[in-house]
Amino acid sequence: MIYLFTALYSEASVFIKHFQLTKNHQISTFQEFYNEEAGIRLTVTGVGEIAAASAVSSVCSIYQTTASDLLVNVGTCAGTSDGGIFLCNKITEISTGKTFYPDLLFSHDFQETELLTGMRVLDITLRDQLFADHLEGICYDMEAAAIYQAGSYHFGPHQMIFLKLVSDRGNGKEVTREQIDQLMNMHAKELCGFLEQMRQFRFSESRTELWSVERESLYLRLGRDLHCSKVMSDSLRQHLHYCFLVGTDVDAVLLDMYEKGQLPCKDKREGKQRFEELKQRLFE
Amino acid sequence: MKNLNNDYLNKFCSHIYIERAITAHPRTQKILAHFPHATVVTIDHYKDVFCRSRQSYPLQHGSQNLILAEKKGTLLYEGAPVCQSFGNQYFYYTSCMMNCIYDCEYCYLKGMYPSANLVIFVNLEDYFHEVEQMLKQHPLYLCVSYDSDLLALEQTVGYVKEWCDFVQTHENLKLEIRTKCASTGMVGQLAQTKDVILALTMSPQKVITSFEHHTPSLDARIAFTLKLLEAGCAVRLCFDPMIYLPGWETYYGQMIDQIFMHIDVNKLIDVSVGTFRISQDYLKKMRKQSPDCAVAWFPFQNENGYYHYPESLMEQMESFLTNRLAEQLPKEKIFRWTDN
Ligand code: SF4
């Protein structure tokens, strides 16, 4: 699932339209839109660090995010460079001076930038002060550092992506909703295309294939038939796990032992002995 | 890793993180020149990137980035109990590079480091200085390629050459450079002295194919050994770690046949034999990060915080290989790993 966070509805609407997201009326704190099939859940956080961190924390707790999920923050920002989409490779929170580095694993066609996150809307004075040292390009927003920090409780740095579109040069108060709509629409294809690509990505191999229901019940039955103690049972599981990974024909070995009447065992003592034999046979 | 679509991942060293303080360092500039298209991200301290929590080692390895930094504090460490000292009393190791471009499934670096990104410390002179200080007290046997494979990155970094040059001007210093690299073109650059031991890890082709991803084949490693011996280098073959897999005896036997067929093993300075062993903390992390890695999920035996194969299997595997080697090598040249 991709958990998408935007500060404003006008930053969200292109995704709502493209991925046909439906409003979740059961959530009242933040506006939430989702499409289970598309694997996207979008939250409009509101402006500012506290709102953003609250939304991330709330969404991640409600939906119990996993290692296969992705957090994406998309939004407009102020910047020294002209338009286009920027992927943030470094995010600094102005209030604390802390810097965060999302992983940069995925190939993309965007430009990259350093981003500063501040508590207030950028004005000309603050802009001149902050941007003075970054002539080659820097962006300023009001959420990313907070989203990263709140997200860190649930996601690794490889699961968090921050995309920013420059809407102004530090005169953010003058930017209208229509201008944001227009900017987002102008880049809708690239943004949605990137999310489509991310949806295809598999973060980790599922372990369910290794431990199917049949194998789980084989393990339980074997544990009973060997009269396993807790320690033996853990060891049995570990041996089976390894054998399943390397493709040992466990069934053939067990079938033979059952046919010979070596299994099930009559008591713990016999079970212990048979378990040693079983281990040996599995590693022959 | 299976099922990861590598088309989605950035290429090797697409990004280079550089500590602000060493941006202008000549080695930083030299290394950077090898990656003209990389995006540079300035950082304060390498740990700000390397030690972030919840990183995915396997994923990062698929798109490894580079961190250039300055190493402060202790630079030389006493050899760990799981490492072979080859009878040297003053056995130390050092890490002027962390992590490796190869991807061996059993590599302890996966359990030791929080990140798969490569770190290169550019202040090699500080390492040299610390070695010189130690040499004032006693001789030194120093392994410089433990937490990485220096030779595999030699064309880009050039540290093996720098260490070799350093050894030539310092007495009582012996270096071991452990590697799986087999780049025959590099032979001329390596020191032809008994004080630099090139320690090549040998594994059966089946082990290489199954677990030692992106490393040179057994044929290539044998060819490299031959070239090194021809050039007069001091070569050690390391059959360590031996990895269990069904049919291990056949695979290890075939490997020895192949080695005996091509290499006059008496020209080697020695060989080492040891089965896979690892600290319990590292193994725990490896299992968490790689739920499908067979080598890590073997049902090992835990002894004083270290995991190893069950005693009988360990004995069987190590004796087998030691006996095979003893067919052509005197016993004094065969070092079998023991923990005491
Ligand atoms: S070559 Fe050595 S350091 Fe590199 S991955 Fe393999 S075991 Fe680890």
The percentage of chain A sitting over the pLDDT mark of 70, rounded to a whole number, equals: 97
| Ligand 1 pocket by Cβ (under 6 Å) | B 100, 102-104, 107, 109, 148-149, 180
DSSP labels for B88-108? -SSEEEE-SEES-SSEETT-T
Half-sphere exposure for B210 (CA within 13 Å, toward CB): 18
Among B105, B118, B149, residue to substitute to test ligand 1 (most atoms within 8 Å of Cβ): B149
* DSSP strand pairing (A160-168 vs A85-93): antiparallel
CA of B277 to the centre of ligand 1 (A): 14
Q: Which residues pair with B175 in a beta bridge?
A: B142, B196
Can you read off the two tokens belonging to residue B44?
A: 């304060």
Residues A188 and A119 both lie in one domain: yes
Distance CA A57, CA A52 (A): 9
Contact A274, A263 (CB under 8 A): yes
Q: Whole-angstrom Cα distance, residue B147 to residue A80? A: 42
Interface test with B, best of A88, A92, A107 (most B CBs within 10 A): A107
- ipTM beyond cut 0.95: no
In the predicted model, what is the mean pLDDT of residues B162-185? 95
pLDDT, one tens digit per residue, over B235-269 is 999 999 999 998 999 999 999 999 999 999 999 99
| pLDDT reported for residue B2 | 35
Is pLDDT at B333 greater than 90 in this prediction?
Answer: yes
A163 sits in which H/E element: strand A160-168
The residues near B255 (Cβ < 8 Å, ≥ 6 apart) are B202, B203, B204, B205, B218
What's the CA angle centered on A77, arms A49 and A86, to 5 degrees?
110
Distance, CA B286 to ligand 1 centroid (Å)? 14
Q: Which two tokens stand for residue A252?
A: 């053939």
Using a CB–CB cutoff of 8 Å, tell me whether A231 touches chain B: no
Both tokens of B131, joined, read 């070695």
Which of A179, A200, A221 is at the close of a domain?
A200
Residue A108 shares a structural domain with residue A239 = no
Of B1, B8, B292, the CB nearest to A107: B8
Write out B26-70 in H/E/C secondary structure.
HHHHHHHCCCCCCEEEEECCCHHHHCCCCCCHHHHHCCCCEEEEC
Residues A10 and A177 sit within 8 Å (Cβ to Cβ): yes
B172: pLDDT strictly greater than 50: yes
What is the rounded CA–CA span in Å between residue B41 and residue A87? Answer: 13
Q: Do residues A196 and A210 both lie within one domain?
A: no
Q: Please count the structural domains in chain A.
A: 2
- A106: DSSP letter: B
Q: Which helix (H) or strand (E) holds B259?
A: helix B248-262
Comparing alpha-carbon positions, the chain A residue that sits nearest to B2 is A205
Q: Does residue B81 have a pLDDT over 80?
A: no
Q: Which of A280, A283, A275 lies closest to A233, judged by CA?
A: A275
CB A65 within 8 A of CB A14: no
- The answer to whether A275 and A232 are in contact (CB under 8 A) is yes
Residue of B nearest to A154 (CA): B54
CA–CA separation, A209 vs A226, rounded Å?
Answer: 25
**Per residue in B280-307, pLDDT tens?**
999 999 999 988 899 999 999 999 999 9
Regarding whether A211 and A191 lie in a shared domain, the answer is no
Among candidate residues A155, A279, A158, the one with its CA nearest the CA of residue A226:
A279
Residue nearest to atom 7 of ligand 1 (CA): B107
Of A172, A200, A228, which residue constitutes the final position of a domain? A200
CATH code of the domain covering residue A108:
3.40.50.1580
* Structure tokens belonging to residue B144: 């410089």
Pair (A162, A259) in one structural domain: no
pLDDT above 90 covers a percentage of chain B that reads 89
Confidence at A4, pLDDT banded by 50, 70, 90: very high
Tell me the nearest-neighbour CA distance from A45 into chain B, angstroms.
24
- For A210, the domain range is 206-283
A84 shares its domain with A185: yes
Ligand 1: which of B57, B101, B107 to mutate, most ligand atoms within 8 Å of CB?
B107
Contact status of A210 with chain B (Cβ, < 8 Å): yes
Same domain for A153 and A35, yes or no, is yes
Say what the pLDDT of residue A208 is: 56
Is the predicted pLDDT of residue A207 greater than 90, yes or no? no
Q: Is residue A153 within 8 angstroms of chain B, CB to CB?
A: no
Of B208, B206, B234, B240, nearest to B221 by C-alpha is: B208
Provide the whole-model pTM: 0.94
Enter the tokens of residue A6.
Answer: 């935007």
Both A182 and A263 in a single domain? no
Name the more confident of A144 and A130. A144
Position B265 scores a pLDDT of 97
Residue A140 has pLDDT above 50, yes or no: yes
* Cβ-based neighbour number of residue B78 at 10 Å: 11
Count the neighbouring beta carbons within 10 Å of the beta carbon of residue A153. 13
Residues A225 and A170 reside in one and the same domain: no
Out of A200, A233, A251, pick the residue that ends a domain.
Answer: A200
Tell me, in angstroms, the distance from the centre of ligand 1 to residue B203's CA. 12
A50-89 per-residue burial string, b: 16 or more CB within 10 A, e: under 16: ebbbbbbbbbbeeeebeeebbbbbbbbbbbbeeebbbbbb
Of B5, B11, B245, the CB nearest to A201: B5
Q: What is the rounded end-to-end Cα distance, in angstroms, of chain A?
A: 43
Gap between the Cα atoms of B119 and B17, Å rounded: 9
Query: Measured between CA atoms, how close is A161 to chain B, in angstroms?
Result: 14
Average per-residue pLDDT for chain A? 93
Mean pLDDT of B315-324: 97
Binned at pLDDT 50, 70 and 90, residue B5 comes out as low
CB-based contact B8 A248, cutoff 8 Å: no
Contact A205 B2 (CB under 8 A): yes
Among B132, B57, B104, CA closest to B209: B104
pLDDT of res. B4: 42
How far away is chain B from the Cα of A93, in angstroms, using its nearest Cα? 14
What CA dihedral angle connects A43, A44, A49 and A51, to 10 degrees?
-90
What six digits make up the tokens of A148? 């990263």
Please identify, by atom number, the ligand 1 atom nearest to the C-alpha of residue B100.
4
Mean pLDDT of chain B: 94
Beta strand pairing call for A111-117 and A99-100: unpaired
- Nearest residue to B309 via CA among B317, A272, A279: B317
The closest of A113, A74, A75, A112 to A92, measured between CA atoms, is: A113
Is residue A180 domain-shared with residue A233, that is, in the same domain? no
Contact B313 A283 (CB under 8 A): yes
In chain B, where do the E strands start and end? 15-19, 39-43, 66-69, 76-78, 91-94, 97-98, 103-104, 118-121, 140-143, 173-179, 196-201, 212-213, 234-242, 270-275, 277-279, 301-303, 306-308, 334-336
The two tokens of residue A152 are 């860190």
Question: Does one domain contain both A151 and A51?
Answer: yes
Return the axis-axis angle of helices B248-262 and B218-231, rounded to nearest 10°: 30
Backbone angles phi, psi at B43, to 5 degrees: -130, 165
Q: Do B39 and A104 touch (CB under 8 A)?
A: yes
Same domain, A105 and A131: yes
Determine whether the interchain pair B54/A156 forms a contact, defined as Cβ–Cβ distance below 8 Å.
yes
Q: Which two tokens stand for residue A214?
A: 């049949």
Residue A245 to residue B294, Cβ atoms within 8 A: yes
